[in-house]
Chains A and B, each alone.
Chain A
Amino acid sequence: MSDSEQTIGASLPRRDALRLAVGRGTFTDDIVLPRMLHMALVRSPYAHALIKSIDITDAKNSDGVVRVLTGADLEDVCSPFIASIEFLPNMISPPQYALALEEVAWQGEGVCAVLAESRALAEDAAELVKVEWEELPAVVDPLTALLAGTPTVHRKLETNIAMIMPIEKGDTKLAFANADVVVEHSFEFGRQAGVALETRSVVADFEPAGRQLTVYQSHQTPYQMQDVYARHLGLAEHQVRVIAKDVGGAFGLKLHAYPDEMAAVAASVLLGRPVKYIVDRQESFTSDIHSREMTATGRLAVSGQGVILGVEVDILSAIGAYSIYPRTSVGDGVQAVQFTGAPYRLPTFKGRVRIVYQNKTPCGAYRAVGQPIGCSIIEQLLDLAAAKLNLDPSEIRRRNHLRSVDMPFKAAGGLEFSNVSLDECLTALLAKMNYDSLRNDQKKAQKRGVYRGIGLATFVEQTAVGAGLYGPAGVRVSAQEGCSLRLNPSGLVNCSTSVTDQGQGTLTGLQQVIAETLGIGFDDVTVEAGDGGATPYGGGSWASRGLAIGGEAARLAAIDLRNKILTVAAAITQELPENLTLVNSNIFDGSKCLMDLSELSEIVHFRQNTLPPGVDFEMNVTRHFVPRDFPYFIANGIQASYLEVDVGTGAIKLLEHWVAEDCGKIVNPLLVDEQLRGGIVQGLGAALYEHCLYDDAGQLLTASLADYAVPLASEMPDIHIVHVETPVSGTGLGAKGAGEAGTLGAPAAVWCAVNDAIRPLGAQVWKQPFTMAHVLQALNSKGSLL
């Protein structure tokens, strides 16, 4: 058996990697069941319309069609769902149906489902469904949505405003009046799509005799979906089992309950046959959650020394036609405000977010939820203030960062900090990137007429959220993670966890924690996950929680199993358990090896009769962990972007990118680094390319991968990483999350770098993504800065 020492902290490759690389993964579309039907949807071609009639006659008679379902057919099978938050009783949230009943509110909302022998035949028939529409005015522009007299996104709504949340700390008016420097900026953030390469997929299998529903789904949290399906399809929770096998990217977009997936599952219940529904790429663009569509104005007041006196921010967040079920869509806007200035000491703060509905695809949680917006706003304002004060951007950050001496700290936006390492990260980052020589390079380039910019972005990342968030909200999402360990007869260990893994490598991290804590080899542990019916109850994967919370559950379970093993070993060897240790799968008394684990395992499985009476032979343990004493762990770091702006064409070339990051204890540096890099590239995509564009009628213009540009290998820079490791005290493991840090800070770093590059020309960008057209627009409107 292999060496168990120092597994935690080792850069071990993932056990699943080979299987996935050579095409032996099991993605949901790879699953084929007997008598399985395929579903295709008729979706609304209009952003807002009434359904006057639906004629399914021709579709029903089309080749291979088994059933054509409308909203009315599913209404009795699947109850409507409304995303709400108990402590926000005034939040407006319209009900959603598996298929629309009388009215559609976004282009792409499902109205009719065809079930046929193959997907191709289902699509043929879907084209034969005749829907008579009455087009209604579409509310597309967020500002228009706010105005009195604007039609509503749903006829039954009285307003398009979902909610308005103000936050205030201290007297900003006074702070701004007394400031030496006040800067102000307006911002526009383009609507984005998550773009998992594997589209949303579901295979629902309802067995009508025993009334058991099994759903294979490409999803982050099977437990949440078991709860959703049970309650909305009238089943008991133990009649529902949701299994997420391999998931081809998720990034938050596979965290929600989508009406089309509800329709597929409801159709299986109605027909008593398996139903497969695979969202195609165009449907993915029109029906996966979007996010980040916001406009904002920000103001910053600083003293002559560059010390922040106050921040004011006003954000308008547009969330599409519905608040996504069950977690709602308001988090994006709320977190955008809460994270504006969160890494800094803000004596005064005044923030507001207004969240509006519009006739577009519903929004929801996408990697880093709202945090990139807050980060981009404050980092830009700081650079503007630094420029006015002739301070280096790194210096103004250092003068305002939260420091260890400020801990514990509650930020103006409500965030609670227990430790930070921002200055340490800044120092590490500047050294890693040779900051001073880079500034020289920038100056030299400028003399040649080449405009390069350096952008710094300090960020704090909310990770490992505990029961304090969804519990009080009345949203049935569990913040705990569980881990079951069982010693098998060969002396190897099977782990079963509630943590789910969409490629992050979290399961490998758990394997490392278990191996080292227990005292066995890394390869002696296997980890099973994703089966909501067979694993301990938990959350799954969201908000950078897998290792911080699930890792702690694994650590606790491994400690318990080790104690059980040592207790039975003591009984077998007639030693005292407290004198025994388990190292490399051997039981030691001091330096003397008494027996190996496989020998012990054989006894507890096959020769229990040889054990003294009363000795516990059951080598199974299950432990759960949920943060109760702390709301979450705030990870932190700083990113830097170096880029070149072609002032003739407006093209931006990314030259290099750096990050100094502190996610607490690092279990596997290889995997953490790739989480950061992958996250950063998604953030770079947000900054430069990604944009869901709509026309005035609410038609999505970017519903293909040819029109919605995601980063390609050729456009991306090398990304350099340096770690600062400050273990948290709330768990024995000491890990924080790292999954969203990259996506959170990268847009702000680019935003700052672009404006750093073109500031000598008196210009600055204000609209993300920074397309060539927008950069030219910024260069041409210089002097009239927003």
Chain B
Amino acid sequence: MAEMLPIKLTVNGAVVSKLVDPRQHLTDFLRIDLGLTGSHLGCEHGVCGACSVRVNGQVIRGCLMLASQTDGADVQTIEGIFEAGEAAELIAAFVARNALQCGFCTPGMLLTAAEIVAEGKLLDRQEIRNELSGNICRCTGYQSIIDAVEMVLLEKLKEA
């Protein structure tokens, strides 16, 4: 086995110091070492988006990044985002619109959707569809997700 590497990073606001296997990807680290099971592994080759997490403010695929690359990084997962109340309107819209069924893709989908909402631009439905095309949902057929994101975008713009 390769030598373990020490990393120190912030996860959902708390400092974490761990030794990691150099080959371990970020999602395995979050799930196995930290018990943050809200990020899911749907393909482990960067296609499905279920493992999406935020690293230094950007949504990335946890399965395509090594844990050892996150030394010094600020990582946010769905658990932290929910606890911080950050995407509350979006999460409420997903629930109200039934924009999830099995819920396996949803944490990743929500992170991407939150990024769209944070951009603050009013997108039309096709543009929202394009933005969300890096996250596969096999249950909903996407329309309810588009509806939920559109609802929140319109609401935000009304407020502004």
Q: In the bound complex, how far is the Cα of B100 from the Cα of A138, in angstroms?
A: 42
Which A residues are in CB contact (< 8 Å) with B68? none
The chain A residue sitting closest to B77, CB to CB, is: A23
Q: In the bound complex, how far is the Cα of B40 from the Cα of A246, in angstroms?
A: 13
Whether A503 contacts B129 in the complex (CB less than 8 A), given A22-B82, A678-B141, A719-B143, comes out as no
Which B residues are in CB contact (< 8 Å) with A199? 42
Report if A17 contacts B (CB, 8 A). Answer: yes
Contact call B48/A714, Cβ cutoff below 8 A: no
Contact call A704/B43, Cβ cutoff below 8 A: yes
Q: In the bound complex, how far is the Cα of B8 from the Cα of A557, in angstroms?
A: 56
**B38-67 interface code vs A (CB 8 A; 1 in, 0 out):** 111111110110100000000000000000
Q: In the bound complex, how far is the Cα of B41 from the Cα of A763, in angstroms?
A: 43
Contact surface of B with A, Cβ cutoff 8 Å: 1, 21, 23-24, 31, 36-45, 47-48, 50, 77-79, 82, 91, 94-96, 98, 100-107, 110, 125-126, 128-130, 132-133, 135-146
Which A residues are in CB contact (< 8 Å) with B79? 22-24
Contact call B98/A17, Cβ cutoff below 8 A: yes
Report if A682 contacts B (CB, 8 A). Answer: yes
Whether A681 contacts B100 in the complex (CB less than 8 A), given A17-B94, A706-B47, comes out as no
User: Given known contacts A503-B102, A712-B142, what 12 new A-B pairs fall within 8 Å (CB)?
Assistant: A23-B82, A25-B104, A30-B37, A197-B40, A248-B102, A249-B102, A280-B44, A670-B98, A674-B141, A677-B141, A715-B133, A716-B143
Report if A710 contacts B (CB, 8 A). Answer: yes
Interface residues of A in 53-98 (CB under 8 A from B): 63
6 nearest A-B pairs in the assembled complex, by CB-CB distance = A23-B38, A20-B103, A503-B101, A248-B104, A681-B141, A503-B102
Contact call B91/A22, Cβ cutoff below 8 A: yes
Q: In the bound complex, how far is the Cα of B126 from the Cα of A250, in angstroms?
A: 28
Interface residues of A in 6-60 (CB under 8 A from B): 13-14, 16-27, 29-30
The smallest C-beta distance from B48 to any residue of chain A, in angstroms, reads 6
- 28 examples of A-B residue contacts, CB within 8 angstroms: A13-B96, A14-B95, A14-B98, A21-B107, A23-B38, A29-B31, A63-B1, A120-B21, A197-B105, A198-B42, A198-B102, A246-B103, A248-B40, A280-B44, A502-B102, A503-B139, A670-B98, A674-B101, A677-B140, A678-B141, A681-B140, A682-B141, A704-B43, A705-B48, A712-B142, A713-B135, A718-B125, A718-B143
Contact call A22/B107, Cβ cutoff below 8 A: yes
Report if A300 contacts B (CB, 8 A). Answer: no
Report if A680 contacts B (CB, 8 A). Answer: yes
Contact call B104/A17, Cβ cutoff below 8 A: no
Q: In the bound complex, how far is the Cα of B6 from the Cα of A453, in angstroms?
A: 60
Which single member of A26, A246, A505, A712 contacts B133 (CB below 8 Å)?
Answer: A712
Which B residues are in CB contact (< 8 Å) with A503? 100-103, 139
Max chain B C-beta neighbours (<10 A), residue from A19, A29, A249, A742:
A249
Which single member of A13, A120, A281, A714 contacts B43 (CB below 8 Å)?
Answer: A281
Interface residues of A in 673-709 (CB under 8 A from B): 674, 677-682, 704-706
Q: In the bound complex, how far is the Cα of B140 from the Cα of A502, in angstroms?
A: 12
Contact call B103/A716, Cβ cutoff below 8 A: no
Report if A196 contacts B (CB, 8 A). Answer: yes
